[in-house]
Amino acid sequence: MPYAIIIVPIAPLRATAAHRSEMVSQLLWGACVEILSTSSDGWVEVKNQYDDYVGWATMSHLEIIDEGLYRAKAIHYTASWSNRVTMNGLPMQVPFGCLIKHYADKGAQWGDIQVRFEDPVKAVMSHEPVDLEAFKATAFNYLNTAYLWGGVSVFGIDCSGFTQNVYKLFGIHLLRDAYLQATQGQVVDFLQQARLGDLAFFDNEEGRITHVGILLNDEEIIHSSGKVRVDIIDNQGIINKDTGVRTHKLRIIKRYI
User: 68: Cβ–Cβ under 8 A, 6 or more apart, which residues?
Assistant: none
- State the chain's mean pLDDT as an integer: 97
CATH number listed for the domain at residues 3-122: 2.30.30.40
Give the per-residue pLDDT at 180. Answer: 98
- pLDDT, tens digit (0-9, with 9 covering 90-100), for 142-199: 999 999 999 999 999 999 999 999 999 999 999 999 999 999 999 999 999 999 999 9
> What is the location of CATH 3.90.1720.10 in the chain?
132-255
d(CA 12, CA 35): 15
d(CA 211, CA 221): 12
d(CA 173, CA 126): 12
Average pLDDT over residues 106-123: 97
> What is the location of CATH 2.30.30.40 in the chain?
3-122
Give the per-residue pLDDT at 202. Answer: 98
Query: What is the band of 128 on the pLDDT scale with cuts at 50, 70, 90?
Result: confident
Average pLDDT over residues 209-227: 98
Please, where are the H alpha helices in 156-195?
159-168, 178-181
- pLDDT, tens digit (0-9, with 9 covering 90-100), for 57-99: 999 999 999 999 999 999 999 999 999 999 999 999 999 999 9
Q: Is the pLDDT assigned to residue 45 strictly greater than 80? A: yes
Closest CA to 49 of 25, 17, 15, 16: 25
Give the per-residue pLDDT at 229. Answer: 98
Give the per-residue pLDDT at 11. Answer: 98
Give the per-residue pLDDT at 140. Answer: 98
Architecture of 132-255 per CATH? Answer: Alpha-Beta Complex (3.90)
Handedness of CA 127, 5, 37, 57 (dihedral sign): positive
Q: Is the pLDDT assigned to residue 1 strictly greater than 80? A: no
153 near 147, Cβ under 8 Å? no
Tally Cβ neighbours within 10 Å of residue 61: 22
Give the per-residue pLDDT at 22. Answer: 97
The string of DSSP letters for 47-70 reads EETTT--EEEEEGGGEEEE-HHHH
- Which H helix or E strand runs over 32? strand 32-38
d(CA 4, CA 215): 36
d(CA 122, CA 225): 28
d(CA 233, CA 225): 14
Give the per-residue pLDDT at 126. Answer: 76
- pLDDT, tens digit (0-9, with 9 covering 90-100), for 11-40: 999 999 999 999 999 999 999 999 999 998
